[in-house]
């Protein structure tokens, strides 16, 4: 690694441009929630019980491939605040996990496709990340880790209602699959509200990647299953995939419409974003995210041939506050971060 700080590389599995098979779907995450039968759920655990949990999971991993060189295990106290912030900005851990990392543990694979959080809302949360729309492959990755861990751990499981979780909204499969989608054309044509209303009825939820609802920055949304019980893992994923494909088709239609009916306006918007990215001297996070959304649309539609997806993905992660500050290693004022951000974006455009 170029940097001596952990997780400081911008590259992460879900953000691999070459592997993305989809313009509209950026990434897939599958999470399995598991708990040990013998311990209370994390929010009610004593410090000693938390240690016991980390030790038990650590022991179970040791004799499986999870204990081999492809994976790293850290206890909460081994990570600095900055390293936690970097993991959060890569969307590999939850804000809840980043906020309370002592007496927690994390297992992370070298390519960051597998991240296991220990001691979050549930004892163990296995996450599998992949670029593009790859629900089945992501589930297979998470299942594999679950199979390895259960060799040494006794999961809380009920004959009728399945895997038991701290919150009954996860009980059964413990499965939450989330897909990150980029919906600029639906946002521009005012169709998102309609879409969000429909999602609830389908047992799915939509959240902005940054911020809630349609206020999200950069037209990036996360769509995930709400129901975890009564359907098999495969059925849950198949249902989500059907809806994702329909949303993608709607977004594509809206893009085609913009391209044919609003040609000048669309080109103008994309090239203005390119102008901002090329010449701005300060960029807030929101302005950068909105700019990136337009640039990505331009690349997808073949309008911005001078840019590629690798650059966009690099900006998406590297343009966030802690990635910008990581070299200095100290907190900067918001205005100073915005100057760094603009300079970073210009650098990526110059091929740095």
Partner 1 sequence: MLCEKCKKNTATVCVTTIINGDKTVKNLCPACAEQEGHLNMPLSFDHDFSWQNLWPTIFSLGQGELNRGSNAQTCPHCHLSFQEFAKGGRFGCSHCYEAFQPQLKAMLQRVQGSEQHTGKLPKRLAGVKGIRRQIDALRGQLQQAIDVENFELAAKLRDEIKVLQETVQKGDA
Which residue, 177 or 317, is less far from partner 1 as judged by CB? Answer: 177
Burial 43-52 (b: 16+ CB within 10 A, else e): eebeeebbee
Backbone phi, then psi, for 117, in 5-degree steps? -95, 130
Q: Which of 86, 79, 95, 7 is nearest to 322 (CA)?
A: 86
Which residue, 258 or 299, is less far from partner 1 as judged by CB? Answer: 258
Which residue, 235 or 331, is less far from partner 1 as judged by CB? Answer: 235
Strands, E, within 81-209: which ranges? 105-109, 114-118, 124-131, 157-158, 162-163, 175-182, 204-208
Which residues of the chain form contacts with partner 1 (CB under 8 A)? 35, 37, 39-41, 43-44, 121, 143, 146-147, 150-151, 154-164, 166-169, 171-173, 175, 188-191, 194-195, 197-198, 200-203, 226-233, 235-236, 239, 243, 246, 250, 253-254, 257-258, 261-262, 265
> C-beta of 38: minimal distance to partner 1 in Å?
9
Which residue, 89 or 250, is less far from partner 1 as judged by CB? Answer: 250
> C-beta of 231: minimal distance to partner 1 in Å?
7
DSSP 280: -
Which residue, 12 or 173, is less far from partner 1 as judged by CB? Answer: 173
CA distance 123 to 119: 5
Structure tokens at 206: 């939509």
> C-beta of 89: minimal distance to partner 1 in Å?
27
> C-beta of 117: minimal distance to partner 1 in Å?
16
> C-beta of 41: minimal distance to partner 1 in Å?
6
**Do 180 and 92 meet the contact criterion of CB atoms below 8 Å apart?**
no
């Amino acid at each position: 690694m170029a940097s001596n700080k952990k997780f400081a590389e911008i590259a992460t599995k879900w953000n691999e441009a070459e592997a993305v098979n989809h313009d509209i779907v950026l990434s897939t995450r599958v999470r399995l929630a598991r708990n040990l039968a013998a311990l209370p759920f994390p929010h009610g655990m004593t410090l000693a019980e938390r240690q016991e949990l980390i030790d038990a999971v650590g022991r179970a991993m040791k004799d499986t491939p999870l204990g081999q060189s492809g994976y790293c295990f850290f206890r909460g106290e081994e990570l600095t605040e900055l390293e936690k912030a970097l993991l959060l900005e890569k969307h590999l851990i939850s804000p809840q996990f980043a906020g309370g990392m002592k007496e927690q543990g994390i297992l992370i694979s070298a390519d960051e496709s597998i991240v296991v959080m220990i001691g979050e809302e549930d004892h163990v949360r296995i996450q599998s990340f992949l670029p593009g729309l790859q629900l089945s492959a992501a589930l297979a990755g998470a299942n594999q880790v679950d199979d390895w861990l259960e060799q040494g751990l006794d999961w809380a499981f009920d004959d009728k209602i399945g895997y038991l979780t701290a919150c009954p909204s996860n009980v059964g499969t413990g499965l939450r699959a989330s897909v990150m989608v980029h919906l600029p054309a639906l946002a521009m044509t005012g169709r998102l509200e309609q879409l969000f209303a429909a999602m609830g009825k389908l047992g799915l939820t939509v959240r902005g990647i940054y911020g809630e609802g349609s206020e999200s920055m950069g037209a990036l949304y996360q769509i995930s299953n709400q129901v975890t019980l009564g359907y098999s893992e495969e059925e849950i994923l198949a249902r989500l995939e059907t809806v994702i494909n329909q949303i993608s088709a709607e977004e594509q239609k809206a893009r085609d419409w913009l391209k044919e009916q609003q040609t000048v306006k669309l080109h103008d918007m994309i090239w203005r974003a390119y102008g901002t990215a090329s010449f701005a001297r300060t960029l807030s996070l929101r302005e950068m995210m909105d700019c990136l959304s337009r640039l990505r649309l331009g690349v997808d539609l073949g309008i911005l041939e001078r840019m590629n997806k690798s650059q966009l993905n690099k900006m998406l992660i590297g343009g966030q506050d802690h990635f910008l500050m990581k070299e200095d290693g100290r907190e900067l004022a918001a205005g100073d971060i915005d100057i760094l951000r603009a300079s970073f974006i210009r650098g990526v455009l110059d091929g740095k």
